[in-house]
């Protein structure tokens, strides 16, 4: 006669947990595989821009991010940024430095591109246009969605790399050159791939295209 | 049950922690104490101990918040003597407040760093000299930024010819910070260490007790020359500091 073994409470909990985990993993694989699933698309045709000459559109995996540039605050830096956009220099640029819910950085045109990604040199690439003088502004607050020109530890070393803040970073005020602000698509930026335990991202996400609105 | 706990431990997820302050100043374990002030000085305090510098030779400890609250008004009052333009000129923007500051195992009141625009202050420094120490350290930043205005050879020439400074500030035993009764060219024993410390001592007294210095220089020709030299150097930067 076969003796019936009764499961203990912990075994029952573990069994239920494993079943739930299986269901969750199964549904995640099929339903949530697409990280852009719940992202609203920004339709540029539905937006009336008052200053289209200062609007830039970055297209990444989950859609369009619309950025308003501030030439009044940082004239030389915005001019450089526009020059690079018009040269399509940022197309294929990697978001190689990402701190979850804090900051994303891209724009190394030499060592941080989809075609050529060199982790030993990334962050030191040059645009070939020379370094710019920092245009610091003590009034500009780096709130959520602020776009700034990245630099080395020294001032006056801005070139092509830029960062976007995903939360307010008060200490950046007066420390970095402001370029503009994200006006649409911040949730898209939050979907950019982060590193696991480092700020540098292996197999990063890339910018598909980055253009001035008028050139789209 | 143990298997269940093991499973739960496996689900432990770690995140990258951002430290924007570290990225800027290269000093770990800091947090903002006061960000906005009239002269644009930003006050940070230690939320944990830190070690920085060559072979981690600079060490300072986490602040006790009550201790900091008690002392902050004195710190701010003294820094408010300087306007934002002057502070920008001498590359000072961040005040890092910590407890028990050591450099190479020597207790010190402050460590200025013009490159990082930072002045680290030990809030536990002897209260008797605390306010003066702040200005003393600020002078080092002034001198670093305007070395031509405070030429050490010219300054040293005001001393009697038989006097010589030590090789460095910490390689002499001239460390006492009390004001001499008979100054004879030097305000404190520490003034005799090296020219830059001598200048910093004079400046710190000018900022905290100018009347006393004006009294002393009536009788002390050497000090009168030294004080005149410092005042002249400062007036080229900002006529309103003294």
Q: Tell me how far apart the alpha carbons of residues A92 and A94 are, in angstroms, rounded to a whole number.
A: 6
CB contact under 8 A, B16 and A175: no
Q: Is A96 on the interface with B (CB under 8 A)?
A: no
User: Which among A100, A153, A171 is the nearest to B16, CB-wise?
Assistant: A100
Work out the pLDDT band at A11, boundaries 50, 70, 90. Answer: confident
Q: What whole-number distance in Å separates Cα of residue B68 and Cα of residue B17?
A: 26
B/e letters for A27-42, b = 16+ CB within 10 Å, e = fewer, are eeeeeeeeeeeebeeb
Going by pLDDT thresholds of 50, 70 and 90, the confidence category of residue B241 is confident
What tokens does B141 get? 């930043």
Whether A209 and A88 have beta carbons less than 8 Å apart is answered as yes
Residue boundaries of the structural domains of chain B: 18-126, 146-242
> Which pLDDT belongs to residue A107?
97
- Structure tokens of A135? 């245009």
List b or e across B131-149, with b for residues whose CB sees 16 or more CB atoms inside 10 angstroms: bbbbbbbbbbbbbbbeeeb
- Would you say residue B146 has pLDDT above 80? yes
Contacts of A142 in chain B (CB under 8 A): none
- pLDDT confidence of residue B15: 43
pLDDT of A60 reads 95
> What CA dihedral angle connects B117, B120, B126 and B131, to 10 degrees?
30
Which pLDDT band, with edges at 50, 70 and 90, does A71 fall under? Answer: very high
| E-only strand ranges, chain B | 30-34, 42-46, 50-52, 58-61, 94-103, 106-107, 110-113, 118-122
Residues of chain B whose C-beta is under 8 A from some C-beta in A?
A: 1, 3-4, 7, 14-16, 18, 20-21, 24, 26, 32, 35, 40, 42, 93
Tell me A154's DSSP state.
S
B97 - beta bridge partners?
Answer: B45, B121
Between A and B, how many CB-CB pairs are < 8 A? 43
Task: Give the mean pLDDT of B67-87.
Answer: 96
- A47-56 long-range CB contacts below 8 Å, 24 or more apart? A47/A184, A49/A213, A52/A213, A52/A214, A53/A212, A53/A214, A54/A78, A54/A180, A55/A183, A55/A212, A55/A213, A55/A214, A56/A81, A56/A82, A56/A85, A56/A180, A56/A210, A56/A211, A56/A212, A56/A213
Interchain pair A17, B14: CB under 8 A: no
Answer yes or no: is pLDDT of B6 > 50. no
Give the other-Cβ count within 10 Å of A21's Cβ: 12
The rounded distance, in Å, linking the Cα atoms of B102 and B125 is: 11
Report the distance separating Cα A27 and Cα A23, nearest Å.
Answer: 6
Scanning A187-216 for CB atoms below 8 A from B yields: 194-199
User: In whole angstroms, what is the distance from residue A177 CA to residue A148 CA?
Assistant: 5
Burial (Cβ within 10 Å: 0-12, 13-18, ≥19) of residue B72:
middle
Chain A residue nearest residue B37, CA to CA: A138
Averaged over A4-14, what is the pLDDT? 83
Token pair for B170: 């910490």
Can you give the length of chain A in residues?
Answer: 216
Could you tell me the two tokens for B28?
């770990």
Cβ A102–B20 below 8 Å, yes or no?
Answer: yes
The structure tokens 């994200």 sit at A182
Predicted confidence band of residue A195 (pLDDT cuts 50, 70, 90): confident
Domain spanning A44-215, CATH class: mainly beta
**Amino acid A103: pLDDT:** 94
Model confidence pLDDT, tens digit, residues A104-131 = 999 999 999 998 999 899 999 999 999 9
Q: What is the pLDDT of residue A216?
A: 59
Write down the pLDDT at residue B166.
Answer: 81
A10 pLDDT band, cuts 50/70/90, is: confident
| Whether B123 contacts B97, CB under 8 Å | yes
List CB contacts (< 8 A) between A138 and chain B.
40
Calculate the average pLDDT of chain B. 90
For tokens 């100054």, the residue is: B183
Give the three-class secondary structure for A180: strand
Flag if A198 and B40 touch (Cβ within 8 Å): no
- Whether the per-residue pLDDT at B11 is higher than 50: the answer is no
pLDDT-wise least confident of A4-18, A23-37, B215-229: A23-37
Question: How high is the ipTM of this complex?
Answer: 0.72
* pLDDT reading at B14 higher than 60: no
pLDDT average, residue stretch A92-98: 95
Q: How close A208 comes to chain B (CA, Å)?
A: 26
Residues B79-116 have pLDDT tens digits of 999 999 999 999 999 999 999 999 988 899 999 999 99
pLDDT band at B176 (very low <50, low <70, confident <90, very high): confident
Which candidate from A17, A102, A138 shows the least CB-CB separation from B40? A138
| Phi, psi at B165, each rounded to 5° | -75, 170
pLDDT in tens, A38-53: 788 888 888 889 999 9
pLDDT at B187: 96
């Amino acid at each position: 006669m076969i003796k019936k073994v009764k499961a203990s409470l912990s075994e029952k909990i573990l069994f239920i947990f494993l079943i739930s985990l299986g269901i969750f993993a199964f549904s995640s694989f099929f339903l949530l595989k697409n990280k852009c699933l719940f992202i609203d698309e920004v339709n540029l045709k539905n937006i009336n821009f008052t200053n289209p000459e200062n609007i830039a559109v970055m297209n990444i995996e989950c859609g369009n991010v619309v950025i308003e540039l501030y030439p009044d605050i940082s004239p030389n830096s915005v001019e450089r940024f526009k020059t690079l956009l018009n040269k399509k220099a940022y197309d294929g640029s990697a978001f190689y430095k990402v701190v979850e819910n804090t900051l994303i950085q891209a724009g190394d045109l030499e060592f941080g591109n989809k075609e050529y990604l060199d982790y030993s040199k990334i962050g030191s690439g040059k645009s070939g246009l020379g370094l710019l003088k920092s245009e610091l502004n003590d009034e500009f607050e780096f709130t959520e969605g602020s776009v700034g020109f990245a630099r080395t530890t020294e001032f006056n070393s801005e070139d092509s790399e830029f960062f976007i803040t995903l939360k307010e970073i008060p200490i950046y005020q007066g420390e970095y050159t402001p370029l503009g602000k994200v006006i649409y698509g911040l949730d898209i930026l939050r979907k950019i791939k982060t590193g696991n335990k480092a700020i540098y991202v292996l197999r990063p996400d890339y910018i598909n295209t980055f253009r001035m609105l008028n050139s789209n | 049950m143990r298997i269940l706990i093991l499973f739960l431990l496996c689900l432990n997820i770690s995140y990258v922690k951002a430290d924007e302050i570290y990225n800027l100043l290269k000093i770990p374990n800091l947090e903002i104490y006061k960000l906005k002030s009239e002269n644009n000085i930003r006050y940070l305090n230690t939320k944990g101990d830190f070690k920085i510098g060559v072979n981690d030779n600079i060490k300072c400890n986490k602040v006790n918040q009550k201790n900091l609250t008690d002392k902050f008004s004195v710190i701010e009052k003294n820094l408010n003597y300087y306007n934002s333009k002057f502070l920008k000129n001498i590359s000072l923007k961040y005040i890092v407040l910590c407890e028990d500051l050591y450099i190479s195992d020597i207790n010190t009141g402050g460590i200025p760093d013009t490159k990082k625009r930072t002045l680290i202050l030990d809030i536990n420094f002897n209260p008797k000299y605390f306010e003066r120490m702040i200005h003393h350290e600020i002078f080092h930043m002034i001198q670093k930024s305007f070395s031509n205005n405070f030429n050490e050879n010219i300054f040293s020439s005001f001393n009697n010819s038989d006097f010589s400074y030590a090789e460095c500030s910490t390689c002499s035993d001239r460390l006492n910070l009390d004001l001499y009764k008979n100054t004879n060219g030097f305000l404190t024993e520490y003034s005799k260490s090296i020219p830059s410390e001598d200048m910093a001592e004079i400046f710190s007294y000018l900022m905290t007790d100018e009347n006393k210095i004006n009294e002393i220089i009536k009788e002390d020709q050497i000090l009168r020359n030294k004080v005149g030299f410092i005042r002249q150097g400062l007036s080229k930067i900002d006529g309103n500091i003294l």
